[in-house]
Structure 1
Amino acid sequence: MKKILYVLLAIVLVVVVAIGVLVTLIDPNQFKPLIAEQVKKATGRDLVIEGDIGWRFFPSVGFAIGRTEFRNPAGFDEANLVQFNEAGVSVSVLPLLSNRLEIGQVTLKDARVFIQTRKDGVSNLDGIGGETQVSDRAASESRETQAEPTASGEGEVVAEGETATGEKWVISLAGIALENASVSMRDDQAGTATALDSLNMHLSQFAPGEWADLNFDLAGQNGAMRFSAQGKTSLQLAETLDNAALKNTELSVSMTEAGTQLEHVTLKLDAFNLGEWSNVTLSAKGQIPDLAFNADGKTRLMVSQDKTKVSLQALDLTSDLEGAALPRPTMKVAVSGDAEYDLKAALASLSGLTVKADELALNGDVSFKQADIPVIRFALSSEEINVDNWTGGDAVASASEEAKPSETANTASAPAGSTSASEQEPDLSVLKQFDVDGTVTVNRFVAANAKLNNVDLAIAIKNGVFSLNKFAAQLYDGTITATARLDANGSLPVYQISKSIQGVQVQPLLVDVAENDILAGTGNIDVEVAGKGLAESRLKKNLDGTIAINFADGAVNGINIPKMIREAKAKLKGQSDTIKDESKKTDFSALTATFMLKDGKAATNNMHLASPLLRVDGKGNTDLIAQSLAFQIDTSVVATSKGQGGKSVDEVADITVPLDITGTWQAPDYAINFKELVKRNSELDKRAKELEAKAKKEAERLEEKANKEVQRGLDKLLGDKADDDKVKEATDKLLKGLFN
């Protein structure tokens, strides 16, 4: 036993003597010039070690180095690319004999990295690798060294972490401490700058298969934006070094910029392992211009074992919003569903998605495939969408109307050569940037106060073309169907629209949409139009096509045509119509017209209104730009029965009265064209006199012929007595009795 103690004491004595000799005879600072020379050869830059290099022997062997600077070439704003005040690392010697690599605490204090790209494009990172040939040769030699098997022998470590004899190595790290580090990155060409003013990181004792604690904090600035972040987690590296796990992870980020403040974004992860579900909670609070938000959410996260898929399950995110940027002063928005991202296919899928904004809710599935032209597919549905609740409805429309005079004034005062707002084409470049195909169904839909049910919509966007493949809905006891196409590939967008409205009750529709009940009845409308250009002026000028209307069993409110006819008749006679207090409407059994759209006008020559009482035929046009009316219609009473309101119209039956409709869409004017009426009445009187004279002349001719024939008959009957005076007198009396 004593011999063993003597041997151990001898070994300790040898080690102590060896360390003493090493410290006495070998000064590590004498290697400074050699180290600087090798760095100069490898990088072309100066390495200046101002502090001392010192040995460290307890509790492990290592070294500590003082202030060190790795210099920039001349012409940069800071002298050093990298600098630090203190660094140190140590390795335990005895465990090496047992294939254990135990690294002590690694420290780096007051480190600073400065990266700059000048306006001429030169960066202080350029040329760090020295001459290309040297770098290429070194890389080649490195690859050859890695490719060659290590020589057999005890204790040699290969890349796989085993000795040449197959013995495994165990690696451990006492910890890492990065204190008060800073990074500055400037790009003078782009005019950008990012700086990390303070970066601290601490990793506790670390070894494969064991949990280690990691925490960090940083603060910095990017342009006018200030940001900070803090985080902590427990980390475990697999013993095979091919996997890692986390638990108790927390990350918090804050940011401030002009008009924007992110008080915090916090993410918490209870645990993370490949192929296993993890519980995630998150929250965010802050504000951007005209919008403040406070959001909370939770979900389950899983990354597949092969690291090709990221899945979210039971996502539940809610946010309270407030600000002028919203259609309402405050809103509550919620998103829920499942999501998956396939890294190989670059495909994100959302299934069972529900998006809520107050009372509005959308449900369905959405997918997004990342590509040069991203591919988006969706199928969404909603119980009710009320657009007016979000756009302000009539209030917005009124504000728009009030703004028109000022807009006109601004256009009039625009400098010569500038494009007015009415001639500015919308930017449709987005139609070339996406491939979209999807459907939307809505049970109840309200827009511009029009109420639709069972809306079924199918749209597609591809290669700069927008297609409305289907639009079908029920409205006001009728149906509407439509298709459309918009091609944005030319100098001006080209569009086509087909629409059919069948069996719609026109009056409640007009009351809801335009607050106007001018027309009532069951309406059918067929629209086939096309055009080029979507600017306001071109939209009206370049619109071509037809609009065919066919209304049945209705009335035109605001005008009583029979009354106007009676008044016209009375005026021609110098009298006045004695019927008072009649309703201002004209009933009809059919109202049809076909409008031709061209050159900014809608014109018709076959307007026809029919009822048991009236016949109305007309022609004319409306200017789509000025919204003016110019129609001429002929109205006539064709019945001899009781008219509207139970009043007799016999006295005006078969009279045709010309009526002019002028004014604007908002305020139409109706007036009898008395000049045309008098002209027509004069022509009728002249024609009547001509017919009367002709009839009289014809009657005289027939009477004369009849007298001759009767006389011839009497002469033949009486023979010689026909010349007797008494007989002639009797004959004349007989003839007068026959023809008078």
Structure 2
Amino acid sequence: MMATLKWILLGFLGVVLALVLYLTLIFDLNSFKPEISAQVAKLTGRELTIDGPIGLSVFPTLGVELEKVALSNLPDEALPPLVAFEQASVGVALMPLLKRQLEVKSLVIRDAVLNLVTLEDGRTSLTGLGGEGEQTPAAEQTPTQRKESDWRLGQLEVLNITVNNDNRQTESYQSLALESLTLQSIEPGRAAPLALKLALQDPQLSVATEAEALLTLSRDFSRVQIDGWDQQIELSGAAIGEQPLTLALALDADLDIAQQAFQLPRFQVVLDQFQFEGNGQLDLAGVRPKLTLKGEGNHLDLTPWMPETTDEPEQAPSTPETPPSDGPAQEPDLSALGLFDLDLAVGLTQISAPPYQILNPRIEVQLTEGVLSLNRLAGGMFEGQFNMTAKLDSNPQPARYQFEQRIEQLAIQSLLKTVADTEVMAGTGLFTLKGQGQGLTADSALPALQAQGQLALEDGAVYGVNVAKMVRDGQARLKGDMTSSSEAQKTDFSSFSTQLAIAKGSLTTSQIKLASPLLRLDGNGQVNLLSQALDYDLVVSIVGSLEGQGGKGIDQLKDVPIPLKIAGTPDALSYQLDLDAMMKQQLDQEKDKLEKKLKDKLLEKLGEF
């Protein structure tokens, strides 16, 4: 019995040995190249060429190695291959397969190129990929329970992989080079070292990056854990200016693929002296993906990457500009806001982006069902503190928005200098504005904007005009004195206030009140926000003595209302006193005084009888 069993076992081993010898010494996969190419052409509609040998090993590792393989691009087009690689090999341990264990000894891909082309007619390298053969419906499978197989990957090595994207419709070209991707000794529940190095080449932007981490996979690949991700990124090119960027990124991540939930318990971004730390998560299981991100950072200085400014005037273009389109501007496409939800809360100690400086900025943003809500935007700017809320609803067409902002302790001169490059007014105080509108183009936004607010300043001045001097010179001209004193062109005030209203493309400033120890200004005005033309009707009243300021003989104008007209554009304003009205007001005042004096004397005489 034992002898029989012995001979059976020896016979089985002999058959196995003969099979191995046949596969390794006699059987030649290279003879099947035509059949392999024909099947690939049938399945993909593309031509497969294998110029190198096909290697086969059986024991102890079942492996296949290919060399110089290429898959053609779009048929009948002179294009580089869709895919081409110099070498690819995979080796699987044979004996563990008998125990339902998959042990991949090595998976190697070297010197591969992927060419993605978009032609002028819109066809891409993937157009028609799949062949024209009839699709055989897959047989209906009955779910069965089976034990999960153990697996192990000894080595993954991907070297020199290039992805070229040639878009001939937009005349753009990008190239992504994966120099290396290695993964060593990975198996379920065990962390394995991961390393990669890649580069992106674009006419406007170049990116070079290296990263290392520990990667842990679950047995069924439904969970991925990344620990200690450490990445260095270098950016350069015209898109970011002459100064290159060097970024460092560190993070931990837990990816639950089955539940479509991705946690980012820690991440850190370092840019020069700037550091930002936070956490986040991405949930893909809902109706829309939802991204949550919270973090804090220190001073973000963007000065090195801001465009250089010059005091030289811009030269007129040598060629005429393209005439504007006759039709209205198209509203921006905001459909992307309906594709995902967002919950963002970020704070920094400072942002520097000359000429802007923001201290302790805080921003809280939510995006839900296409409605973008700015719940908070706060910080220090223009020597004051600002706080703003806003909402943008992208669902109607055109989009609707509303906002409310408040700036306390505002230095108005700093704001005007930064925003409008003018110093027409100085003072410190309060600015508020609350409004709503629809449309986001220049043609639609201003006409539809409706807003109300106020501006109240203290201890400031209006530059470019000296109202007191205008009054003195005006009265002097009425007396025949055409000389004019030389004084600073500014009107100081102790307080200034006005109510603001924006409607139909115009800014109305009502209840203007300017007060100083010398004079008062009251009135109203309007500014066309499209043409920048303004028109103000004010009334000047002298309330204090102008002695010591060249004001001898002018105190008689006290309480005489003097009309003042301001018109023009910000760079060409005209100030005109109504001298005729001033003379009439003064004569009427003198007449009233004389009548009162005569009346008093008449009553005095009558009292003697």
Task: Calculate the TM-score normalised by the size of structure 1.
Answer: 0.65
Query: 1:280: which partner in 2?
Result: 194
Structure 2 Cα separation of the partners of residues 491 and 656 of structure 1? 51
Residue 355 of structure 1 corresponds to 269
Indicate the residue corresponding to 1:86 in structure 2.
31
Deviation at 1:429, TM superposition (A): 1.2
| Counterpart in the other structure of 2:290 | 375
Q: Which residue of 2 aligns with 1:303?
A: 217
2:94 to 195, 198, 207: 207
Contact between 1:194 and 1:223, CA under 8 Å: does it hold in 2? Answer: no
1:131-530 aligned at under 5 Å gives the runs 175-179=62-66, 184=71, 195-196=82-83, 201-202=88-89, 206-209=93-96, 212-213=105-106, 215-217=108-110, 219=112, 222-224=115-117, 242-252=149-159, 253-256=161-164, 258=166, 259-305=173-219, 307-371=221-285, 372-386=287-301, 389-392=304-307, 410-412=322-324, 414=325, 416=326, 418-419=327-328, 423-447=329-353, 449-530=355-436
Q: Which amino acid aligns with 2:37?
A: R
Which residues in structure 2 correspond to 1:642-657 (within 5 Å)? Answer: 642=547, 650=555, 652-657=557-562
Q: Secondary structure at the match of 2:387?
A: strand
User: Mind listing any 5+ residue stretches in structure 2 that lack a counterpart?
Assistant: 47-57, 97-102, 119-124, 126-146, 167-172
Deviations 1:461-520 (A, max 9, x none): 111111010122123443211110111111111111111111223233433444433222
Q: 1:477 to 1:211 in 2, by over 3 A?
A: closer
* Alignment counterpart, residue 524 of structure 2, candidates 616, 619, 626: 619
1:681 and 2:578 are equivalent in the alignment: no
**Shift in Å at residue 219 of structure 1?**
4.5
- Report the equivalent of 1:672: 576
Contact 2:306 2:354 in 1 (8 A): no
State whether residues 431 and 465 of structure 1, in contact with CA within 8 Å, keep that contact through their aligned partners in structure 2. yes
Match of 1:610 among 505, 515, 525: 515
SS at match of 1:86: helix
Structure 2 CA distance for partners of 1:203 and 1:362, relative to 1, 3 Å: closer
Which residue does 1:659 correspond to in 2? 564
Considering fraction of residues, name the structure with more helix.
1
Partner of 1:587: 492
**Who is 1:112 aligned against?**
37
Is the partner of 2:531 in helix, strand or coil? coil
Q: Distance in 1 between matches of 2:256 and 2:548?
A: 76
Q: In the alignment, is residue 564 of structure 1 matched against residue 470 of structure 2? A: yes
- Give the distance between the partners of 2:529 and 2:317, measured in 1 at CA: 16
Deviations along 1:569-620, one digit per CA (max 9) or x if unpaired, are 1011111456x44222211111010021111001133111011211001211
Q: Cα gap change, 1:604/1:405 in structure 2, threshold over 3 Å: closer, same or farther?
A: farther
Tell me if structure 1 keeps the 8 A contact 2:560–2:582: no
Q: CA RMSD in A?
A: 4.2
CA distance in 1, matches of 2:446, 2:61: 78
Q: Which amino acid aligns with 1:376?
A: L
The 2-side partners of 1:609 and 1:60 are apart by 105
Deviates more, 1:495-504 or 1:509-518: 509-518
Cα 1:355/1:221, change in 2 over 3 Å: closer
The alignment partner of 1:208 has SS state of helix
Deviations 1:280-309 (A, max 9, x none): 221123412222232222111111345332
What is residue 92 of structure 1 aligned with on the other side?
A: none
Deviation of 1:218 (Å): 6.9
Query: Per the alignment, do residues 430 and 290 of structure 1 end up closer, same or farther by CA in structure 2, a change over 3 Å counting?
Result: same
Q: Distance in 1 between matches of 2:543 and 2:469?
A: 14
Q: State the alpha-carbon separation in 1 of the partners of residues 351 and 109 from structure 2.
A: 52
- The 8 Å contact of residues 110 and 180 in structure 1, kept in 2 or not, is answered as no
Contact kept, 8 Å, 2:350 with 2:361, in 1: the verdict is yes
Distance in 2, matches of 1:86 and 1:573, equals 117
- Which whole-Å CA distance do the structure 2 matches of 1:536 and 1:343 have between them? 45
Residue identity opposite 2:299 in structure 1: E
**Relative to 1, partners in 2 of residues 1:706 and 1:645: Cα closer, same or farther, differing over 3 Å?**
closer
SS at match of 1:672: strand
CA deviation profile, 1:355-379 (whole Å, cap 9, x unmatched): 2344444321122222452100011
Q: Find the residue that maps to 1:567 and give its secondary structure.
A: helix
Unaligned 5+ segments in structure 1 are 20-55, 68-83, 88-107, 126-170, 228-239, 710-740
Q: Secondary structure at the match of 1:275?
A: coil
Which deviations, in whole Å up to 9, do the C-alpha atoms of 1:157-201 show, x marking residues without a partner? xxxxxxxxxxxxxx9655333545857477889x99975556755
SS in 1 for 2:443: helix
Distance 2:62 2:95 in 1: 13
Once residues 62 and 692 of structure 1 are traced to their aligned partners in structure 2, the CA distance between those partners, rounded to angstroms, is 132
Q: Decide whether aligned partners of structure 1 residues 645 and 509 sit closer, same or farther in structure 2, where only a CA change above 3 A counts.
A: farther
SS in 1 for 2:322: helix
Kindly indicate whether the alpha-carbon contact (under 8 Å) linking 1:110 and 1:182 is maintained by their aligned counterparts in 2.
no
Measured in 2, the distance between the counterparts of 1:548 and 1:405 equals 45
Aligned residue number for residue 137 of structure 2: none
Question: 1:398 deviation in Å?
Answer: 9.9
3-state DSSP of counterpart to 1:410: coil
In the alignment, is the contact (CA less than 8 A) between 1:623 and 1:629 conserved in 2? Answer: yes
Aligned residue pairs total 549
- Go from structure 1 to structure 2 and tell me whether the alpha carbon gap of 1:649 and 1:265 turns closer, same or farther (over 3 Å shift): farther
Matched residue type, 1:242: S
What letter matches 1:573 in structure 2?
K
1:332-385 Cα deviation digits (max 9, x unpaired):
122112122111221222232122344444321122222452100011222123
Aligned partners of 1:405 and 1:345: how far apart in 2? Answer: 60
Distance in structure 1 (CA, Å) of the matches to 2:109 and 2:34: 14
Which letter maps to 1:627?
Answer: Q
Letter in 2 for 1:692: L
Name the CA shift for 1:246/1:62 in 2 (closer, same or farther; >3 Å): closer
Output the CA distance in 1 between the equivalents of 2:587 and 2:443. Answer: 50
In structure 2, the residue matched to 1:44 is none
1:112–1:181 CA contact under 8 A, matched in 2? no
Letter in 2 for 1:243: D
Structure 2 CA distance for aligned equivalents of residues 402 and 656 of structure 1: 48
Aligned to 1:75: none
Give the conservation status (yes or no) of the 8 Å contact 1:182–1:195: no
Look at both structures and tell me which one has the larger radius of gyration over its CA atoms: 1
The aligned amino acid for 2:573 is D
> When the two structures are superposed, what TM-score results if normalisation uses the length of structure 2?
0.78
Aligned mates of 1:648, 1:347 — CA distance in 2: 83
